[in-house]
Every structure is written in structure tokens, then in C-alpha cells.
Amino acid sequence: MAQSAISMDAPQEHQHDTFKLLGFWIFLVTDCIIFACLFAVYAVLRTHTDGDLTGRELFEVKGFTAETLILLASSFTSGLASLAMHKGSKKQLLGWLTVTVLLGLSFVGLEITEFAKMASEGARISTNAFLSSFFTLVGTHGLHVSFGLIWMIGVMVQIARFGIDSLTKEKVTIVGLYWHFLDVVWIFIFTVVYLLGVM
Amino acid sequence: MGEKAKGFFVTGDPLIYGADVSIIITLLGILVFLTYFKKWGWLWSEWLTTVDHKKIGIMYLVSSLLMLFRGGVDALLMRMQLAMPNTHFLQSQHYNEIFTTHGTIMILFMAMPFMFALFNIVIPLQIGARDVAYPFLNAMSFWLFFFGALLFNLSFVIGGSPDAGWLSYPPLSELAGSPGPGQNFYIWGIQISGIGSLATGINFLVTILKMRAPGMKLMQMPLFTWSVLSSCITIIFAFPVLTVTLALLFVDRFFGAHIFTAASGGNPMMYVNLIWMWGHPEVYIVVLPAFGIYSEIVSTFSKKKIFGYKSMVFSMIIISVLGYFTWVHHFFTMGAGADVNTFFAITTMAIGIPTGVKIFNWLFTMFRGRITMTQPMLWTLAFIPCFLVGGATGVMLAAAPADYQYHNSYFLIAHFHQTLIGGVVFGYLAGLYYWWPKMFGFKLNDRIGKWAFWTWNIGFYVCFMPQYALGFMGMTRRVYTYGWDMGWAPYNLVSTAGAFLMGIGFIFQVWQILYSIKHGERDLTGDPWNGRTLEWSIPSPAPHYNFAHLPAVRSDDSWWDMKKHRYGAAGQDEIKEYAPIHMPKNSGIPFLMSACWFVAGFGLTFEWIWLGIAGLAGIGICLLARSFQRNTDYYIPVDEIKRTEASIGRVV
Amino acid sequence: MSKRLSSGRLRMVSVLAAGLLVLLSGCDRRYLIFNPSGPVAEKELHLIILSAVLCAVVVIPVLALLIFIVYRYRDKPGNKAPYTPEWSDSKILEIVWWGVPIIIIGILGVYTAKTTYSLVKPPVEDVKPITIQVTSLDWKWLFQYPDQKIATVNYAEIPAGVPVQFHLTSDQMMNSFWVPELGGQEYTMPGMAMRLWLQADQPGTYYGSGANFTGKGFAHMKFKVVAKPQAEFNQWAKQVKKTAPALTEAKYQQLAQKGLSEKQTYSSYPERLFLDTIDRNGGKYMKPEMKHGGHDMSMMDHDNE
């Protein structure tokens, strides 16, 4: 009995590492539901332009294609970062994360420019229901990306300071997962909002 | 909006001045007490920074009882206003605020934290774990709830309470309908505590899935654990919808967007759909754990195995899944068409099937058992008829064309109070009496408890049965006054009397707790009820680390089995070596970060953008600070475990 | 009126139960829902009674069983009742209590569906219905009679024995239009024209109220529906046409302000007032049948382009 009691304590502790990942997956499920609701709202309101400009007149193919390619590329580089981490190369890991952050920054920059341009043309969040739902959906994604950037920089600082160990490894994995998730959400935005919008 | 709010402080109502004075006196009293007895350090290190699930549970419990008091006072004020026709006790505006806060507080700031209190106190003990999966996040959930509730309640004295109903349908809840900050208080109060609830859902799901004692299979889990599991799954799928809905309403109000407005292409109907996609599952979120509690209690106090365990599990899972497909029954009368109404009418009735099955299983657990009338059992026995009738009126409401006649009438009010009080509150109270010795090490006094029980129960029927009749007489909810012409007066008067009886029941309970702190029967065994599950295998209250040895589970009703076959903690003459126990360290970050949320929420409520940004920045800093912490846990050395075990009378 | 609704036996049960309820309530006019004064309210009452009876079939035996079990198996020294602490499973019993509720819900489900579908049709087919357009305002009711081209505030007159199709909308807060003695309610929604069939069999005055909260003056949103024989109704309409003032656009704006109102009568109203109100509040995004007639109502424009 005594023996088993001791040996039984151990496995639970080792599992603690996988708890975080499991919890994060469940968090992503909840975030997915959040985006699903926003997509549903957009789907209902996308034609409710109140006589103003529609998506076809507002969206610029060049702009949103660039955003898409940049975000896809950043997802790829974050994957490379994860590979570098498993190889144990701190320098490569930091390098690829830096590239990911830079790509992410330019994505956010492009999105802000796009929003500012629309606003200057009179297409604001308060203009009509279509634009309200558009800015809310795309803006929520943009906020997620911005938050992810700060987070990723935080993780980079930690890697620089503490090196690659089990703690930082877990953090890189989780932030990477988050980043890929945002990429998937963007694919839906690209299709549902932009492609269907300009078609 | 600042200029639209008439003033920062709510003025002009003697009731509110009275509240102001009592709030200030209470606060001063607490400050003086803490300073005089030099308790600040104790408060910080033992409570504000704790990550111990048992202490967090107790804090949830205290907060929810306070909120029960506030919500109850709201209810009594309403009943006073409605006691007689043409009363001038409350103005229309004031009455509207009170029913709004009553509903919101009772569901979100009373039922939810009461439920989380029981999750926290019981679940790790019941599955033989030393903590939850994410203790830090658990503390965060509590403080988010706490500051959310604080923000919501603040509206009473600052800025003005929300007044658009507990689910705040637009366009009434939009800027045009509710210009003051009250509605923003509503949004941010619920939003902040809702994030905490979502985190708790994730936390306990992972805890139950991953941290069960060695050997405990899913189908050996106690039914309360199963009920929490199904409730958590429902939380995970429902609460994000609430988050989105409230956020969108705020976007409308803050940026002047048109998502739910009637003008410029918005769609208010969508809000009603979204809010009920959360709101209906929410009912099952709170009632499922109550079902779990009843199952534990019925089995324990009938000294018999629970009847139809598999059926019980299966029915809870069905309820939590079907719960997503019934939301439209809250607005059959919005003309969704015969197809839609028929579909949702039938799904709603169908929920009655697994619920009915549970009642039969409870009955047959008692059948050929030996029933002892303890306080938890009394509340459980009161629950069965109450919920049965409440459920039956629910089935009646589900028949869509009949609902055209009940909708928004007092029939509906009587129905949902019967399920929420008879089902949820009775359940949580039963759980409170049941697990109280485990929390605090003494039982609650029986004699005063019986007074409380009978006043509560008689009060309940006196209060709500007349309301069914009022529904048939055409009285609609949310009217602040009525005339003599409809014949509603006598029933309303009776109903008010019943409400006050329930209030007296609550006072009995407060007295009971205070009395029992001094005179309550101490529980030295750790197993005062001859329990069946693992929480009864350890001393009361449980030591910091819960289990000195993790129990090895061999069957369902595991503690019962251990006692019967004399092994585990019930075993004799076993030599046990202790191993150091891995525990999480306390942290002040959950408290500070939630305080920042409060600041942000307050700023956004008044549209003081600088304050909102400051709060959000604080949240960011807290998150980064946590991310950089590396030594978040420690080991309790064997010596200390030995000392603790000896001090609580366990063989070392 | 329940020919379509129920078989003979079921009807008898309902009638018996209805009788019982009426006795219990002392034949009281105050119980509006138990005093249906038209075919719609009658159908709904039948369903109410049916559902109550079906629920009672389960509830009463279970209550009796509860009392019996608690009494018989109480823990008392010398209790001779059997005690089987490990008995926890019985396939047959499980089948019984999964089966019985399923059957009951099945029966109720069928009648619910039948009634639901029957209520979107006019209550009687052989009488030409009239239309009344209802707008809920803060905090008053505007009734427009498109056939008679007259309007009233806070009361409506209808011909007895004639089906009335109410078209309901709101400028802007959602309310709910409820005349319990004539039938169940329907929401008034901004941007939509909801349809509700009601009919009064006998002349009389019926209580109506708003059932969904709309703010400060909500409790005062009551109105009377007065049913008169067709001839008297025509007489009344003619009288109104002759003597009442006109509801102008400006008057309407005044009426739409927040506040209470006395009963009012108007001899005419701006032609497109009702449709304009709907369009202004989002009606242009609704499917055309939502605004201009048609049977069923599917809710939102789901953009199937």
C-alpha cells in the first residue's frame, strides 16, 4: 500500500505540463465560438447597408490579398520557429519568432491603414449595420493579432533570458497554436468577408 | 455619455441615501476592524492571494450569500410595491431598476458563485485531488467575479442602476432607450464576471478529466462530479455567446454602431436570439449541479446506492446537449413561424423526459432504503414536489400556442421561480448543509435549521402559487402598479406575505450560522453523515493539501467501499510513508489584475477613455508579470505533513 | 371550434377538466384565460387543459409515491420494510420511466404541432376577415383600419364574429400585443409586421395590454377591444369618419413622443404611415411577405444570394 501511494503521486505531477495545452485547446474552442457568433452576425447584416456603399465598392483586392499573404507567411515562420525550438537552436528560434512578429506587425499596420482609409471615405463603424458588423468582426481578429504580438514578444524576452527549457518550450508551443488559430480565422474572414464581398 | 448622466452620485431617493449611509458605515467598520486588530497582513496572505480551492470556495460562498441578501431585498421591495393596487412606495423608474438588478444579481451574482463555491469546495475532494488543474486561474476567476459583482452593485449609488430588464433587450437597452451609464454597468459587471465563469468552466472540466484519484474511472465518479462535468461543458459552449452579445451591445452604445439598433439596418431580433442561446443553457448550467447534489444526498441519507447510475449520467448529458436547442421557446411569440415554433416546442418538452427520469431514480434510491431526516435531506425532499410541479408547468409553457397565453405573464414568473428556487436554490442550500461540516468542521444547528426550512418552504408556496393564478388573470410581469379593476389585489397581497416569510427564513439561516459557529456540533470524524464519497475520508476541515496520500479507488461510492472492505483511509495498521507534496504558491496577481479589470470597466462605463486604457494597461502588465514568473510552486516537506496530520488526529 | 383539434374522447376530458377549473375558480370572469371569447383563445385553452391533464397524470402519482416511500422507508427502529442497500438497477423500471414521459410528450407534441399550425390560419374560413394595423409606441397603442381608413389610440373596435388579422409593428421598443380573452399574444417588433389572428364571438369589451417591458410608462399600456355586431361597427366607423379629426404626419410625430395618452379617434391617417414606420425601423431588409401579407413568417433575411 505504502509503495503504491508514493508511486501514485508522481504521474499526476508530470501530467501538469499537458494540462496547460489541453486547457488552451479548450480556450481555443471558446474563442472559436466567439468568432462563429461574429460571423453569424456579419452574415445577417452584410446586406444592411442603409443605402451606403457595399463591400464591393469598399474592399480593395490588393490590400486584403497582401494582408492574407503576410499572415499566412507569418504562420509558416512561426512553424519554422517551433521546428528550431525542437532542434534546440535558441538563435534560430529567436530569429524566426522575430520574423513572425515583424510580419504580424505589418499585417496590423496594413489593417489599420485599410480601416483609416475606409473611415476617411465615410465608411465608419457607426455608418450602418453592415459596417458595424464588418469592423467588429475584422477588428476583433485584429485585436487578437495585436495581443498575440505582445505575447510573442514577451515569450521572446523570456527565451533570451532563460533559454529553451520546459517552461519556455510550453509557452512557444501555446503562442504558436494561438497564432495558427488566428490564421485559420483569417482564412474565413478572407473568404466570407472579402471574397464574397467583392464577388 | 457623461453629460447625459444626471449626476455622478445617485440622488433624490431616501432608500438610496439610506443605502449610502449603511455602505459607508460598513466599510468604515471593516477598515477599523482590520486596522485595530492588525489583520491587513492576514487578509492579504490568507485570503486575497490564496490559490487554495477551499478558501476560494468559501469566498465565493460568502459573496453569494451577500448577493442573495441584496437580491432578496430587491424582491421584497418589489413585493411591497405590488402588495396593493396603486401604491406609491416606488416610482416606475425605481421599480424598473429593482427588477432588473434582482434578476441579474440572482442569476449571475448569486446562483453562479454559489454554484462555484460548491464546485471549489467539493470537486477536488470528491475526486481525490489536491487542487484544481489551474489554481492560479481559479483565483483569477473568483476575483473577476468579485470585481464584476462590485462594479454592477456600484451602479446603485453611482451613476444609476440599469433598468432595461435582466436580459436588456434592445432597442430599449440601446443608447436611445437607456442613455445613462446604468446599462454600461450592466454590460461590464456581467462581462468581467463572465470571463471568470468561462475560466472556471475550463478549469473544472480539465480538473475532472485529468486529476481524478488513481483508479477512478469516469463511470465511477460520484454523480455530483458528473453534474459538474456536464455543467462545465455547457459553460464552455454557452458563455462565449454571452461575451459576444454583451460586447456587441457595448460596441453599439460606445461607438454608435448599428448591430442591434432598430435604425440604420440593425437587427434587435438577433440580440434576443443570441442572448437566449446563452440564457437558456445558463439555466441548465445552474440546475445540473443541483441535480448532482440531490443525487449525493438522496443516496447518503437513504443508506443506499444511487438507483440507475448510468441512467443518471446519460440523462445529464442529454440535458446539457438538448439545452442548446430550446432557446427559441423564450420567444415563441415573436412570430418565428409554425415550423420553428413546433420544433422548439418539442425539443423543450423533450428535456422533461431525462429530468423526469432523474426524479424516478431519486425516488427509487429511497425505495427500500432507510431515510434519515437530516437538514440536507429535508431540502432534497422539499425539492422533489416543488421541482416536479415547476417542471410540469414548464412542459405546459413549452406547448407553443399555450405559451401565447402565458408569455410574460405571472404564470411564467411563477414557473421559473419554482424551478430556480425549488430546483437550484433548494439544491445549493441542501449542498451547503451537507458539506458545511467539511468546510468548517461543525454542523449547522438542527432546530433553527428546521425553522428556516419551514418558513422558506411555506413562504415559497404562499408567494408563488398565487402568481400562477395572476397569470391566468392577465397580469403581466414588470408592471410597477395596477388598479383595483382586475381583481389582482388579493393574490398580490398573499404573494407579498409569502415573500416576507421567505425573507424570515433567510434571517433564520443567518442566525443559524452565527449560532452554530459558537454552539454547533463539532465534527471530529471527518465523516459526520456516514458518507459514500472521498471527501468524507479526510478530516474536516480538510488540510491544506487535502490528501496526505492520494486515495486508490477501486469502485464507485469509493469511500463506502473502503469502509466496507477496510482499505485506503479506512484501512487499519497500514504503514504509510509520506512523500513531499507539490503545491502551487499564493499569488497577488489575480487580485490585482481583476482590480485592473474593475478600473477598466468603470472607466468604460462612464466613457472616461483614459481610465479605461489605464485599466487595460494594468491588465496587460499583470499578464506579462505572471508570464515571467518561474517559481510558481513548492513542495510541502514530509515533516510538515506529519505535523499537520498529527494535529488533526490522524495516525502518523 | 375544436373539431380540428381533438378526437371525441380527448375533447370530453378537456371539457371535464375545463369544468373543474371553472368550478375551482368560482366561475370567475376575472380568470381571463379561462373565459375564452373567441375561437383562438378557445383552442389555446384546450391545449392548456390538455397539457395540464397530461402533466397531472405524471405529477399526482409521483407525489403519492414520494409520500408513500418517505413514510414507509423512514429510518425508525423496528421498521419492518425491506432494506436492500445494494439494489440499484432494474431494466424494467428504467424502461417504464423513460417510456411513460416519452409517450406523454409524444401525445402533447402532436397536439401542440396541430394547434400551432392551425393558429396561423384564419379562425373561420367562411367570413371575410378585416385587417387592423397596430403600432406600439412609447407608451400607447395606435390602431389603423386600412379598410375604413380610420385610426384610434388605446382602444380598438372590432366586428363580432369576424376574424381580425392584426398586423403588428413597433416604433421602436419591442412590445407584445395581448388580448387574453380573444387569444394569445404576439410581439410588436420594429421593422416587422407580425400577424395575429383573433376573433370575438360575442359583442363585449375585452381587456388588452402590452406584455413586453418597454420602460417607464409600460405599466399603463392598456387598451380595450370592443366587439360590436357588424352593423354597429359599420355605424361607428362611419361616425368616426364624419366627426373625428385627421391624424396628420405632425400629429403622429407628437404621438410618437414618449408619454401616456388618452383614448383618441382619427378620421384618417397618412396613407403609408404603417409601412413607413416598418421601413424606417429596418423593414426594408425583411422579406417582402413579412411586410405585405403571406401566410407564414420566417424571421430574418438570411442572404441566400
Cα–Cα distance for residue pair B93/B99, rounded to 1 Å:
10
**CATH code assigned at B307:** 1.20.210.10
Q: Within 13 Å and on the Cβ side, how many CA atoms surround B405?
A: 33
Write the DSSP string, B462-504.
Answer: HHHHHHHHHHHTTPBTT-S---STTS-HHHHHHHHHHHHHHHH
Beta carbons of B404 and C216 less than 8 Å apart? no
Beta carbons of C302 and A44 less than 8 Å apart? yes
Q: Any idea which of A55-59, B465-469, B593-597, C94-98 has the lowest mean pLDDT?
A: A55-59
For residue B571, pLDDT beyond 80: no
Average pLDDT over residues B506-523: 94
Beta carbons of C303 and A48 less than 8 Å apart? no
Domains held by chain A: number: 1
Contacts B–C by Cβ distance under 8 A: 294
pLDDT at C12: 59
For the stretch B35-53, pLDDT in tens is 888 888 899 999 999 999 9
* Residue at C98 is within a domain: yes
Cα–Cα distance for residue pair B310/B224, rounded to 1 Å:
13
pLDDT at B631: 84
More confident residue, B516 or B9: B516
Q: Are C144 and C263 in contact (CB under 8 A)?
A: no
Average pLDDT over residues B604-629: 94
Pairs from A90-94 (Cβ < 8 Å, separation ≥ 24)? A90/A159, A90/A163, A90/A164, A93/A159, A93/A164, A93/A172, A94/A156, A94/A159, A94/A160
Do residue C271 and residue C150 come from a single domain?
yes
Which residues of chain C make contact with B482, given a CB cutoff of 8 A? 219
* Residue at A165 is within a domain: yes
CA distances from C104 to C50, C53, C56, C97 (A): 11, 10, 11, 11
Beta carbons of C301 and A44 less than 8 Å apart? yes
Domain carrying residue B443: 279-523
Beta carbons of A48 and C282 less than 8 Å apart? yes
| CA distance, residue B470 to nearest chain A CA (Å) | 38
Residue B180 confidence class, pLDDT cut points 50, 70, 90: confident
Select from C108, C180, C187 the Cβ nearest to the Cβ of B474. Answer: C180
- How confident is chain C (305 residues) per 10-residue block, as mean pLDDT? 46 60 62 94 95 94 96 91 91 92 95 94 92 95 96 96 95 94 95 93 95 94 96 96 95 94 95 92 75 40 34
* A120 at interface of B, judged by CB pairs closer than 8 A: no
Average pLDDT over residues B307-321: 95
pLDDT at B484: 93
For residue B435, pLDDT beyond 70: yes
pLDDT at B573: 56
| CA distance, residue B311 to nearest chain C CA (Å) | 8
* Residue at C1 is within a domain: no
* Residue at A5 is within a domain: no
From the list C161, C178, C181, C179, the residue with the least C-alpha distance to C35 is C181
| CA distance, residue C287 to nearest chain B CA (Å) | 13
Domain carrying residue C263: 130-292
Which residues of chain B make contact with A123, given a CB cutoff of 8 A? none
Cα–Cα distance for residue pair B49/B401, rounded to 1 Å:
54
More confident residue, C29 or B479: B479
Q: What is the mean pLDDT of chain B?
A: 93
For residue B459, pLDDT beyond 50: yes
CA distances from B443 to B122, B434, B439, B523 (A): 16, 9, 10, 7
Average pLDDT over residues B390-397: 96
Q: Kindly tell me the burial class for residue C284, based on how many C-beta atoms sit within 10 Å of its own C-beta (0-12, 13-18, 19 or more).
A: middle
Nearest CA in chain B to C55: B392
Domains held by chain C: number: 2
For the stretch A21-68, pLDDT in tens is 999 999 999 999 999 999 999 999 999 988 888 888 889 899 999 999
Do residue C30 and residue C137 come from a single domain?
no
For the stretch A81-107, pLDDT in tens is 999 999 999 999 999 999 999 999 999
Tell whether ipTM is more than 0.90.
yes
Beta carbons of B206 and A34 less than 8 Å apart? no
For residue B574, pLDDT beyond 70: no
**CATH code assigned at C270:** 2.60.40.420
* Residue at C305 is within a domain: no
> Chain B, 574-613: which have a CB under 8 Å from a chain A CB?
574-577, 579, 581-582
Q: Are B17 and B623 in contact (CB under 8 A)?
A: no
Residue A7 confidence class, pLDDT cut points 50, 70, 90: very low
Nearest CA in chain C to B308: C89
Do residue C57 and residue C155 come from a single domain?
no
* Residue at B274 is within a domain: no
Which residues of chain C make contact with A46, given a CB cutoff of 8 A? 303
Q: Kindly tell me the burial class for residue A195, based on how many C-beta atoms sit within 10 Å of its own C-beta (0-12, 13-18, 19 or more).
A: middle
Cα–Cα distance for residue pair B282/B197, rounded to 1 Å:
11
From the list C119, C104, C132, the residue with the least C-alpha distance to C1 is C119
Q: What is the mean pLDDT of chain C?
A: 87
* Residue-wise burial string across A60-75, b where 16 or more C-beta atoms lie within 10 A, e elsewhere: eeeebeebbebbbbbb
Query: Of all residues in chain B, what percent carry a pLDDT higher than 90?
Result: 84
* Residue at C124 is within a domain: no
Q: State the virtual CA torsion across B429, B431, B432, B434 in degrees, nearest 10.
A: 120
* Residue at C297 is within a domain: no
Which residues of chain A make contact with C303, given a CB cutoff of 8 A? 43-44, 46-47
Amino acid at B160: G
Q: Are B239 and A31 in contact (CB under 8 A)?
A: no
Q: Are strands C222-228 and C155-159 parallel, antiparallel or unpaired?
A: parallel
Q: Are strands C164-170 and C130-137 parallel, antiparallel or unpaired?
A: parallel
| CA distance, residue A174 to nearest chain B CA (Å) | 12
How far is C-alpha C58 from the geometric centre of its chain's CA atoms? 27
Average pLDDT over residues B560-585: 84
| CA distance, residue B206 to nearest chain A CA (Å) | 7
From the list B48, B125, B47, the residue with the least C-alpha distance to B545 is B125
* Residue at B405 is within a domain: yes
* Residue at C302 is within a domain: no
Alpha helices in B83-222 (DSSP H): 92-104, 112-126, 135-154, 182-210
Domain carrying residue A102: 17-50+61-198
Which residues of chain A make contact with C286, given a CB cutoff of 8 A? none
From the list B419, B425, B415, the residue with the least C-alpha distance to B379 is B425
Q: Are strands C204-210 and C222-228 parallel, antiparallel or unpaired?
A: antiparallel
**CATH code assigned at A22:** 1.20.120.80
* Residue at A12 is within a domain: no
* Residue at B165 is within a domain: no
pLDDT at A55: 84
pLDDT at B15: 75
Beta carbons of C185 and B331 less than 8 Å apart? no
Which residues of chain C make contact with A47, given a CB cutoff of 8 A? 285, 301, 303, 305
Q: Any idea which of A128-132, B418-422, C292-296 has the lowest mean pLDDT?
A: C292-296
Average pLDDT over residues B427-446: 96
Nearest CA in chain A to B626: A154
pLDDT at B630: 85
Mutation target among C281, C303, C304 for the A interface, most CBs of A within 10 A? C303
* Residue at C2 is within a domain: no
Picking from C119, C141, C173, the residue at the C-terminal end of a domain is: C119
Which residues of chain B make contact with C41, given a CB cutoff of 8 A? 405
Q: Are B644 and B291 in contact (CB under 8 A)?
A: no
Q: Grid coordinates standing for B399?
A: 406547448
> Chain B, 108-167: which have a CB under 8 Å from a chain C CB?
163-165
